[in-house]
Amino acid sequence: MNPSKSSSKMKNKKIAGSSDERETIMDSPITAPVPVENSKEPSNFVAPIVSCFNDRIRPLIDVVDKLRHLNIMKEGIQLPTIVVVGDQSSGKSSVLESLAGISLPRGQGICTRVPLIMRLQQHSAPKTELRLEFNGKSIVTDESHVSEAINVATEELAGHGKGISNTPLTLEVRKNGVPDLTMVDLPGITRVPVHGQPENIYDQIKDIIMEYITPEQSIILNVLSATVDFTTCESIRMSQVVDKTGERTLAVVTKADRAPEGLMEKVTADDVNIGLGYVCVRNRIGEESYEDARREEARIFESHQLLSKIDKSIVGIPVLAQKLVQIQATSIAKNLPDIVRSINEKLSENLSELNKLPKNLTSNAEAVTAFMRIIISAKETLRKILLRGEFDEYLDDKNMHCTARLVEMLNRYSEKLNQFSENDSGRNFLMEELSILEESKTIGLPNFLPRTAFLVLLQRKVKAVSSLPIGFVETIWNYLENVLTAVLTKHSSNYHQLQLSTKRAGHVLIAKMKKRSLERVMEFVEMEKLTDYTCNPEYGTERNKLISQQESFVKQVFGSSAPKIMIKGYGEVEVGELRQYEYLLPQAYDLRMTMTAYWKIVQKRLVDCMALHLEYSIKKLIDEELASEIVNEILGPGGVGIEKMLEEAPNLSLKRDKLNRSIGRLRESKEVVANILDRIATFVGC
Ligand code: GDP
Ligand code: MG
């Protein structure tokens, strides 16, 4: 079909229009008179429909189309869109065809299986330019092939069967005489699936339609066949759900030629709340040419006995085109300021979110810097919580108030040591000492306390408590491991690989430190077993106090039959069995009391040296070992290497990519709207 071929035939039917009339398009009421034609067209130009081109509207439509092309809707920004809905075979595609003057897949059964975005653009060159865009592809076609090209594209998007898809297909029609309009043709509503259609086809189609017509910015072009009762139309029901008052719904009544009876009454009665009004049309039938179709349409509404009675302001494709252009312009003008605002808001939201994301490392130098920063800050945190007792980074996390927790652990350990020595101090009094003395008998002068007896007793006692310091070391390092892991995780949280490596390094380091501590503690224990020494004067004082009661104790044991005797500074003891050990008793008493005085020293030493060792180890861990362990884990043999650090955590890089895409889209959109901001201002004033 070539419009220019038939243009001479139509020459005399051209409707005159002044440029002043065009300027007032925006202000004209919705039921505008038959539209005007652009006076810039060549004099022999006859459009398949009248041209409604308006210099002021066009750039705005272009902006919206560009925004649509940029997929701005993905950012949740709705664009003013004319959405064509209708029951199956109501004539949706035929209406679009009539508006565009091109062939679309038409006919019985489901033909439109994907949303078809149709961009009609007036251009003055005689040659029509058609382009299909889908799945990132752009395919140039022509009028004789467009129908087939749409079918091929539909098959690619929605498969070969009769299924549907929500991936849109864009058809750009640049043609002399078309109205500047962008519309979306949607699959027709079908109640009963035909052979080969999925069972839930109705729901699928309904979902797509709802998605398109729900936004306030959408204009619903409801296509109704004159042959049906409008109140039974599914498409009416759907549009009424989202647009109760019908303020954004326009009805196109097709097939006026097939059911002229009562049509006028139907559209004037308006039983179905169509706020933007009705337009009755007659589309192309069969292989008729567009010019013939328009002529025939004009003829029937002019001369048909019933159809001619319908007001001329609501009949014919040119009127429909005019109305749509006007509605579209009003809607764009109304919505663009909000769109511009949303674009700016979304852009700054996304930018600040992106800024909050950790910087992506792009070079080894950056990675090393980040790495050093992490180590320095982790060390500083550790110093604060483990050595200085500053908890500002973990105000509410008591587990990380480490100095306090460490003192608590040390106190518990000390208490356990105490409890151990207090056990059984009164029962079986001196029995152990007596048996040791029996075994340490040598040929020599009596009344000397044999040192070996004392050492044997000491070794036994130290051995009995040795599990306590070892257990304490275990507890402390397990706790420190949790603390260290928490601190390292926190500081390396932005660098996935580094996080893994530092955690591993932390684990290895703690294991090493724990091993070293255990060795040291066992040494402490061995040292205590080996030598009995202290320079602490408390020992002497304590011992003297206890030993001074020896004589009176021995006298009491043998001079009375009391089962228990009180020793000052020691406690009450059972003495019943002691009466048989007359000879060894004074020595046994001395042994016990020397040990009692000395054990207090040992006990304190086991706590004190543990505390000092702990502080020393923690400081060494932070100041020396930590950094070298992490460096070794990353850079040493078998390490992952600094390059690995450049890899982001998968979820982080996904998020960053998404944000960057979004920002790119919004920036481009911002540029697109920036150029027409002043025009919007003029429109808003209209
Ligand atoms: P869709 O399923 O809503 O897209 O409907 P189509 O545009 O494919 O049209 C369905 C059938 O109705 C086709 O055979 C068209 O030729 C026919 N049709 C559409 N509009 C008219 C009209 O105004 N008059 C007549 N007589 N037939 C029409
Ligand atoms: Mg269709």
Q: How high is the pLDDT of residue 44?
A: 34
Q: Is residue 661 part of a domain?
A: no
Per-residue pLDDT reduced to its tens digit, 272-281: 888 899 999 9
3-state secondary structure of 432: helix
Q: Which one of 314, 348, 382 terminates a domain?
A: 348
**For ligand 1, mutation pick of 106, 164, 253 (most atoms within 8 Å of CB):** 106
Quote the domain boundaries for residue 321. Answer: 13-121+145-168+181-348
Backbone region of residue 507 per phi and psi (left: phi > 0; alpha: psi in -120 to 50; beta: other values)? alpha
Asked if residue 460 and residue 431 are part of one domain, the reply reads: yes
Query: For ligand 2, a single-atom ion, which residues have Cβ within 5 Å?
Result: 92-93, 111-112
Q: What's the CA-to-centroid distance between 88 and ligand 1, angstroms? A: 9
Closest CA to 512 of 589, 610, 620: 620
For ligand 1, the distance from its centroid to the CA atom of residue 114, given in whole angstroms, is: 18
Whole-number CA gyration radius for the chain: 47
User: What pLDDT score was predicted for residue 443?
Assistant: 79
Give the tokens for residue 189. 């509503």
Residues 308 and 389 in one domain: no
Cα 536 to ligand 1 centroid, rounded to whole Å: 111
The CATH number given to whatever domain includes residue 440 is: 1.20.120.1240
Q: Tell me, in angstroms, the distance from the centre of ligand 2 to residue 273's CA.
A: 24
Interval between CA 283 and ligand 1 midpoint (Å): 7
In a domain? residue 129 = no
416 domain residue, yes or no = yes
Same domain flag for 344 and 368: no
With contact defined as beta carbons under 8 Å apart, do 244 and 280 qualify?
no
The DSSP secondary structure of 230-296, one letter per residue, reads GGG-HHHHHHHHH-TT-TTEEEEEE-TTT--TTHHHHHHH-TT--TT-EEE-----TT--HHHHHHH
Among 283, 287, 292, 304, residue to substitute to test ligand 1 (most atoms within 8 Å of Cβ): 283
Pocket-forming residues, ligand 1, beta carbon under 6 Å: 86, 88-94, 106-107, 111-112, 188, 254-255, 257-258, 282-283, 285
Coil vs helix vs strand at 138: strand
Nearest Cα residue to atom 26 of ligand 1: 255
Compute the distance from residue 634 Cα to the ligand 2 centre, in Å. 62
Question: Which domain-ending residue is among 321, 348, 375?
Answer: 348
pLDDT for residue 424: 60
In a domain, residue 671? The reply is no
Q: Is residue 3 part of a domain?
A: no
Q: Judge if 161 and 233 occupy the same domain.
A: yes
Backbone angles phi, psi at 188, to 5 degrees: -75, 150
The answer to whether 60 touches 329, Cβ cutoff 8 Å, is: yes
Residue nearest to atom 17 of ligand 1 (CA): 91
Give distance in angstroms: CA of 111 to centre of ligand 2. 5
Ligand index nearest the alpha carbon of residue 294: 1
- Which ligand lies nearest the alpha carbon of 112? 2
What's the CATH number where 75 sits? Answer: 3.40.50.300
Same domain, 561 and 418: yes
Q: Distance between CA atoms of 221 and 98, rounded to whole angstroms?
A: 14
Residues 103 and 211 in one domain: yes
Q: Is residue 495 part of a domain?
A: yes
Q: Are 114 and 169 in contact (CB under 8 A)?
A: yes
Determine which helix (DSSP H) or strand (DSSP E) holds 173, and give its type and residue range: strand 169-175
- Closest C-alpha residue for ligand 1 atom 9: 91
Stretches in the chain below the pLDDT threshold 70: 1-56, 105-111, 422-426, 646, 677-686
Residue by residue, DSSP assigns 366-378 as HHHHHHHHHHHHH
Same domain, 248 and 379: no
Distance 227 CA to ligand 1 centre (A): 11
* Residues 463-484: tens digit of each pLDDT: 999 999 999 999 999 999 999 9
**283 Cα nearest atom in ligand 1:** 23
Nearest protein Cα to ligand 1, atom 14 = 107
Which of 315, 348, 381 terminates a domain? The answer is 348
Pick the residue whose CA is nearest to atom 13 on ligand 1: 107
Let me know if residue 5 belongs to a domain.
Answer: no
Instruction: Please identify which residue in the block is written with the tokens 């530092």.
Output: 502
Nearest to 494 by CA among 356, 394, 379, 643: 356
The whole-model pTM stands at 0.59
Assess whether 335 and 446 both reside in one domain.
Answer: no
Of residues 227, 279, 311, 313, the one with CA closest to residue 98: 279
Residue 73's Cα: distance from chain center in Å?
A: 19
309 with 385, same domain: the answer is: no
Quote the ligand 1 centre to 108 CA distance (angstroms).
Answer: 8
- Same domain (yes/no): 470, 503: yes
Whose atoms come closest to the Cα of 316: which ligand? 1
- In the DSSP assignment, the letter for residue 390 is -
What is the tens place of the pLDDT at every residue in 521-537?
A: 999 999 999 999 999 99
In a domain, 356, yes or no: no
Query: Do residues 185 and 112 touch, judged by C-beta distance below 8 A?
Result: yes
Q: What is the DSSP string of 455-489?
A: HHHHHHHHHHHTHHHHHHHHHHHHHHHHHHHHHHH
Name the residue at shortest CA distance from atom 24 of ligand 1: 255
- Count of structural domains within the chain: 2
310 and 375 co-located in one domain: no
Are 331 and 408 part of one and the same domain? no
For position 592, what pLDDT does the model report?
Answer: 92
The order of strands in the sheet holding 81-86 is 137-141, 129-134, 169-175, 116-122, 181-185, 81-86, 218-225, 249-254, 278-280
Instruction: State the Cα–Cα distance between residues 345 and 156, nearest whole angstrom.
Output: 36
